[in-house]
Amino acid sequence: MDEGVTAVRRQFPARIKAIDDLSARSEDFREICRDFADAQSALQKWNVSTDPKRDERVAEYRELIAELSKEIEGALDASVPPTAR
């Protein structure tokens, strides 16, 4: 399984089926998942960094992760037929 999809499955465990279904048919969704995983990885690195810009970068990556989370949730919501909601 794609590393990005795995990261999104961990973030949204209640939506694993929808994540798997959408990732199986959408390259765009898989790309968002990869971006999400990359941002999480970068945040982890900055969290332990001693670089003077650490706090600034941590804030930027947290914001990016929040934005990607919203984008992922929107894509998942849009992928579910209205009658199934």
The model's pTM:
0.91
So what's the pLDDT on residue 2?
A: 87
- Chain mean position to CA 38: 9
Tokens linked to 65: 């992760």
* Confidence tier at 85 by pLDDT (50, 70, 90): low
Neighbours of 36 (CB within 10 A): 22
Q: Are 72 and 10 in contact (CB under 8 A)?
A: no
pLDDT digits (tens, 9 = 90+) for 31-84: 999 999 999 999 999 999 999 999 999 999 999 999 999 999 999 999 977 665
CA distances from 23 to 47, 50, 77 (A): 29, 36, 13
